[in-house]
Amino acid sequence: MSVILTACRNSRQRAIERALKKKAEKKKEKRQAKLAGLIDQLGVPDDTSSLKVWTFLLNGKPNSVVFHLDTLDVSNNGDDVETQSEFTESGSKTNFWLGQHHAQIVTQAGASRRDGLVHTLTIDGNVVPE
């Protein structure tokens, strides 16, 4: 008798687990569809996770510096910029010129593990806000 009851209990438990798994998969699909719709609506390119972008005024003119995280390439207003990279004890530094101005991107570990890597752009020693 106890074998039959145990089999029924296990069968019911497996059915509940399957139902919960199916519900979680549907929820995940719905969330991904919503996110894809939002990305399409905003026109965000797919590879933004591998870019760091700063937009600012320099000498009264708008500038956009894009740092490609996977290749460490830098572009300014769509034009590639010649860079010099060096590794330091705390991370790396990428030096380049924006006209007459010296620019530097410093990559360091964040204060906590959740922060990951922190990229900071400075122009002539002044930090450019994100």
pLDDT tens digits, one per residue of 81-91: 999 999 988 88
Q: Extract the runs of DSSP E, i.e. beta strands, from the chain.
A: 51-58, 61-68, 74-76, 79-81, 84-87, 91-98, 101-109, 117-123, 126-128
Does residue 100 contact residue 78 with C-beta atoms inside 8 Å?
A: no
* CA-CA-CA-CA torsion sign (76, 56, 52, 98): positive
Average pLDDT over residues 7-32: 85
How far apart CA 71 and CA 67 sit, in angstroms, is 9
pLDDT of residue 92: 92
How far apart CA 40 and CA 55 sit, in angstroms, is 22
Q: Is the pTM of this model over 0.85?
A: no
- Weakest-pLDDT range from 6-20, 50-64, 65-79: 6-20
pLDDT of residue 72: 87
Q: Is 35 exposed, middle or buried (0-12, 13-18, 19+ CB in 10 A)?
A: exposed
Q: Which residue has the higher pLDDT, 112 or 129?
A: 129
Give the pLDDT confidence of 58-101 residue by residue, as tens digits.
888 888 888 988 888 998 888 899 999 999 888 899 999 999 99
Asked if residue 43 has pLDDT above 70, the reply is no
Asked if residue 42 has pLDDT above 50, the reply is no
Helix (H) or strand (E) holding 20: helix 2-42
pLDDT of residue 47: 57
Number of Cβ within 10 Å of residue 19's Cβ equals 10
